[in-house]
């Protein structure tokens, strides 16, 4: 009788330990599954073992372009034993890109894909991540002075040439002003996109009178701010420019809406960016003459390719060039 009580106590302790272990396992599994679900991993894929965890950090997860890039990148990552999570500042959130970089570094992820736009402190975070063994791939906009592993996109000179060519085609005898709405923190004299647009317009205009070529930076944490800035342009005493150049999807859509609201169709030519449903419809209806589309599939594929090569080979190309497509009413596809 005297031995039964200690045995019973030991059995209860073992059962309690097993119960605690089971609860811990359930909680850990639940947390892991939540991360996987946020990364878009389905139930079947949850049973797989992933060697790498990557993070993609962009301005907004709601932008059509980044949704397309992420979907391709996610599939490419899964095929190489990696899971990819998308983080976006999603205008109005408390976190910015620097915060997401801090989180990714603290989590010791295996790679970061970053939309860089010259934000204060972001270049230092790129260097910090790389120094801690986390490769960083910048996409669309580059940070050449940082320690980033690779850049996926098209350089500003080539992009400027493409925009300049399209703007020059729209210049006619009625053109008095061209306004370029920039989307990154960079001194105007250092901005090659603006420089090439300026050169193309001057060459096209020749001696037929001076055309004013201006630039305005619209980097903002709020779509409302972008809308208000563009409405101010349309309501200015001198009126809107005859040609308005937009370098991102949100600016293009806001400019298009302002053109409709202020009844300026036919008076303002918008050179847009990307092909969201709104922009595609405007192109098809002849309301936006041209938009320039960076190949989202290539951006997604090359980003994962750079990280994969880094881990498998120990290095990756420093520059992955993607294609640009010029979309007009003649070749737009719904």
Determine the angle formed by the axes of helices 223-235 and 249-261, rounding to 10 degrees: 40
3-state secondary structure of 14: helix
Least confident of 4-13, 32-41, 137-146: 32-41
Residue with structure tokens 């603290």?
Answer: 106
What is the number of H-type helices and E-type strands within the chain? 11, 12
Q: Burial level of 125, CB count in 10 A (0-12/13-18/19+)?
A: buried
| DSSP codes, 288-306 | S-EEEEE-HHHHHHHHHHH
CA atoms within a 13 Å half-sphere pointing along the CA-CB vector of 20: 6
3-state secondary structure of 114: strand
pLDDT for 62-107, tens place per residue? Answer: 889 999 999 999 999 999 999 999 998 765 567 889 999 999 999 9
Long-range contacts of 98-104 (CB under 8 A, 24+ apart): 98/122, 98/125, 100/55, 100/57, 101/57, 101/125, 101/126, 101/128, 101/129, 104/55, 104/57, 104/129, 104/134
Would you state the structure tokens that stand for residue 92, as one six-digit string? 């109005």
Would you state the structure tokens that stand for residue 110, as one six-digit string? 């295996």
DSSP bridge partners of 325? 293
Q: Is 192 left (phi over 0), alpha (psi -120 to 50) or beta?
A: alpha
For residue 8, name the pLDDT band (cuts at 50, 70, 90).
low
Residue 35 has pLDDT above 80, yes or no: no
pLDDT for 213-266, tens place per residue? Answer: 999 988 665 778 889 999 999 999 999 999 999 999 999 999 999 999 999 999
pLDDT for 95-148, tens place per residue? Answer: 889 999 999 999 999 999 999 988 889 999 999 999 999 999 999 999 999 999
For residue 41, name the pLDDT band (cuts at 50, 70, 90).
low
């Amino acid at each position: 009788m005297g031995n039964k009580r200690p045995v019973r106590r030991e059995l209860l302790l073992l059962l309690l330990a097993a119960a605690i272990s089971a609860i811990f396992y359930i909680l850990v599994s639940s947390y892991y599954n939540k991360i996987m679900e946020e990364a878009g991993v389905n139930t079947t894929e949850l049973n797989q073992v992933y060697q790498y965890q990557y993070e993609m950090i962009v301005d907004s997860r709601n932008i059509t372009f980044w949704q397309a890039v992420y979907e391709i990148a996610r599939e490419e990552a899964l095929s190489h034993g990696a899971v990819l999570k998308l983080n976006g500042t999603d205008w109005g959130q408390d976190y910015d890109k620097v915060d997401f970089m801090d989180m990714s570094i603290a989590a010791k992820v295996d790679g970061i894909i970053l939309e860089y736009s010259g934000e204060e402190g972001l270049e230092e975070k790129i260097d910090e991540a790389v120094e801690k063994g986390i490769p960083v791939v910048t996409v669309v906009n580059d940070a050449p002075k940082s320690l980033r592993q690779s850049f996926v996109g098209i350089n500003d000179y080539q992009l400027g040439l493409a925009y300049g060519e399209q703007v020059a085609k729209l210049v006619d005898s009625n053109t008095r002003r061209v306004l370029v709405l920039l989307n990154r923190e960079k001194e105007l004299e250092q901005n090659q996109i603006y420089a090439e647009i300026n050169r193309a317009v001057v060459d096209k205009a020749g001696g037929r009178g001076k055309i004013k070529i201006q630039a305005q930076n619209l980097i903002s944490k709020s779509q409302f701010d972008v809308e208000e800035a563009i409405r101010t342009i349309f309501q200015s005493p001198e009126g809107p420019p005859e040609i308005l150049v937009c370098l991102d999807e949100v600016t293009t859509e806001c400019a298009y809406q302002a053109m409709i609201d202020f009844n300026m169709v036919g008076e303002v030519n918008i050179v847009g960016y990307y092909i969201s449903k709104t922009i595609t419809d405007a192109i098809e209806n002849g309301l936006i003459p041209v938009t320039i589309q960076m190949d989202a599939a290539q951006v997604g594929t090359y980003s994962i390719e750079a990280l994969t090569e880094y881990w498998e080979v120990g290095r990756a190309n420093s520059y992955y060039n993607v294609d640009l497509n010029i979309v007009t009413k003649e070749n737009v596809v719904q």
